[in-house]
């Protein structure tokens, strides 16, 4: 198991893939956070690898995202190859294209990567099905090999993920086109109704068995909007009726002893919408839960 007493943070400081760009400031707020600064006292040493953002002002949004995701993928790949436990902080959820392309790239060609996608949305649109054109609605489709070739081919392995090795948790808002794609691919979706009915721990256990079955390693990506806005208000596309904060804690705590977990990602944190640093504190707790198995406060 990777040493998680030392973790490596990478920030994806961009919100250009969504209609609300506030999430682009998320990583900088976390980097300067006095709340996160106290993690050291818990026995957790963390290092910031940097904040990634496109430097090409005149490029199209697609090209900027391609550039950012390529840089992020290279950073994550490097950390994985050095057997370092990484955490990526968005930024909008287009970061996932870079993060998981990079993690996949660090594995051997014959290995497979699993991924648990915790989100209120499916993020599985293609340029053909999207009603908004926003790329933060497309990262999972891209990772599965559907969408613009620039995004599906960030690194060499194509597709990055296979549908049988992933699952979604917490979904409650989506459009037909993306739902059809995931249904066609037979992707397991734990909709919010099922999470409520069976409980988050039961669902998480089943999710872990899916992503570990045919893979050497797996990751987890958490969109803040999966969590109930009463416990995590700081996100761009708020959806009511989400996963309670205490249940997210239980689920993430289960990851602390998963030795094949390669890294963890938190996306769509918009600090401008936080209330009394509530979401920032929740993120601090998630960091210590996934690494040390206990909450920070």
**Interface residues toward Mn ion, by CB under 5 A:** 93, 119, 123, 223
The nearest distance, CB 115 to Mn ion, in angstroms, is 13
| C-beta of 2 vs 270, nearer to Mn ion | 270
| C-beta of 123 vs 274, nearer to Mn ion | 123
The nearest distance, CB 259 to Mn ion, in angstroms, is 27
The nearest distance, CB 237 to Mn ion, in angstroms, is 8
The nearest distance, CB 70 to Mn ion, in angstroms, is 20
The nearest distance, CB 37 to Mn ion, in angstroms, is 28
Q: Quote the CA–CA distance of 59 and 232 in Å, as a whole number.
A: 33
| C-beta of 112 vs 223, nearer to Mn ion | 223
Comparing CA positions, the residue from 48, 46, 50 lying closest to residue 38 is 46
Angle at 89 between CA 261 and CA 234, to 5 degrees: 120
Question: Is 175 strand, coil or helix?
Answer: coil
| C-beta of 123 vs 228, nearer to Mn ion | 123
Write b or e for each residue in 243-279: b if 16 or more Cβ atoms lie within 10 A of its Cβ, otherwise e: bbbebbbebbbbbeebeebbbbbbbbbbbebbeebeb
| C-beta of 49 vs 265, nearer to Mn ion | 265
Name the DSSP class of 45.
Answer: E
The nearest distance, CB 223 to Mn ion, in angstroms, is 4
Write b or e for each residue in 64-103: b if 16 or more Cβ atoms lie within 10 A of its Cβ, otherwise e: bbbbbbbbbbbbbbbbbeeebbbbbbbbbbbbbbbbbbbb
The nearest distance, CB 169 to Mn ion, in angstroms, is 12
- Taking a C-beta distance cutoff of 8 angstroms, is the pair 101, 154 a contact? yes
Comparing CA positions, the residue from 39, 38, 44, 41 lying closest to residue 4 is 44
| C-beta of 105 vs 124, nearer to Mn ion | 124
- Taking a C-beta distance cutoff of 8 angstroms, is the pair 235, 105 a contact? no
Q: Quote the CA–CA distance of 223 and 117 in Å, as a whole number.
A: 8
- Taking a C-beta distance cutoff of 8 angstroms, is the pair 125, 178 a contact? yes
| C-beta of 8 vs 174, nearer to Mn ion | 174
């Amino acid at each position: 198991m990777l040493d998680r007493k030392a973790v490596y943070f990478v920030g994806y400081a961009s919100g250009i893939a969504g209609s609300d760009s506030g999430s682009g400031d998320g990583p900088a707020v976390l980097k300067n956070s006095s709340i996160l600064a106290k993690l050291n006292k818990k026995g957790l040493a963390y290092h910031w690898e940097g904040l990634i953002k496109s430097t090409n002002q005149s490029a199209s949004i697609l090209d900027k995202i391609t550039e950012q995701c390529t840089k992020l993928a290279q950073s994550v790949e490097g950390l994985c190859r050095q057997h370092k436990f990484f955490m990526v902080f968005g930024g909008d959820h287009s970061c996932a294209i870079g993060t998981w392309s990079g993690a996949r790239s660090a594995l051997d060609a014959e290995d497979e990567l699993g991924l648990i996608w915790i989100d209120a949305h499916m993020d599985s649109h293609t340029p053909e099905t999207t009603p908004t054109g926003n790329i933060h609605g497309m990262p999972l489709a891209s990772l599965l090999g559907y969408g613009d070739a620039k995004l599906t081919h960030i690194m060499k392995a194509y597709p990055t993920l296979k549908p049988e090795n992933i699952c979604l948790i917490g979904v409650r808002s989506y459009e037909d086109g993306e739902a059809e794609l995931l249904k066609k691919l037979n992707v397991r979706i734990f909709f919010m109704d099922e999470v409520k009915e069976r409980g988050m721990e039961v669902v998480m256990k089943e999710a872990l068995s899916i992503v570990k079955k045919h893979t050497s390693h797996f990751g987890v990506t958490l969109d803040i909007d999966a969590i109930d806005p009463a416990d995590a208000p700081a996100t761009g596309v708020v959806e009511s009726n989400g996963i309670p904060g205490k249940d997210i804690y239980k689920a993430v705590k289960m990851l602390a002893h998963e030795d094949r977990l390669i890294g963890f990602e938190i996306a769509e944190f918009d600090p401008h919408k936080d209330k009394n640093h509530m979401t920032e504190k929740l993120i601090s707790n998630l960091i210590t839960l996934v690494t040390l198995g206990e909450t920070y406060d």
